[in-house]
Amino acid sequence: MHDKLIFEVAVEIDSTQISQLKGPAGEVLMIPFSGTIKGEVFNGRVLPGGVDTQTVDQNGVRHMSARYMLEGVDKNGEQCRIYIDNNGWFSGEMVMPFKTIPTFFTDSKALAPYLHSNKFRTEGHPRQGGVTIKVFEICST
């Protein structure tokens, strides 16, 4: 059985807004972004303030932590918000698609029991002007 795609986030990056620091302990890259979401359980947009923060330590280990709030409608057509905290760790060259683990918080009555179950994974697929984040429910075999 394959994991089930539940929605996609079309991330738009404005490269002029990226902040970077390089120092003796490593480097930090902060990438603010916007975007739209389409899928079977949610459709909407990324609210202002979404940022992907990437740190690289002295050993070359990259920690990527994207935090963002979505606003839109759930699978029942009700207005709601979803907060995503998406984390991944990589050493060496980042392989595409990159893989991360999301944690969700939502005020949707329909989605809360589902999204709060911590059984999801994401994949990041590069595309022109940004990345597409595919959110999958992990299905048992």
Which stretches does DSSP call E strand in 24-141?
26-39, 42-46, 51-57, 61-74, 79-91, 98-106, 120-127, 130-137
- Whether pLDDT at 140 is above 80: no
- Of 24-28, 46-50, 76-80, 137-141, which range is least confident? 137-141
- Whether pLDDT at 95 is above 90: no
- Whether pLDDT at 3 is above 90: yes
- Whether pLDDT at 121 is above 70: yes
Domains and CATH numbers, the chain: 4-137 (2.40.160.20)
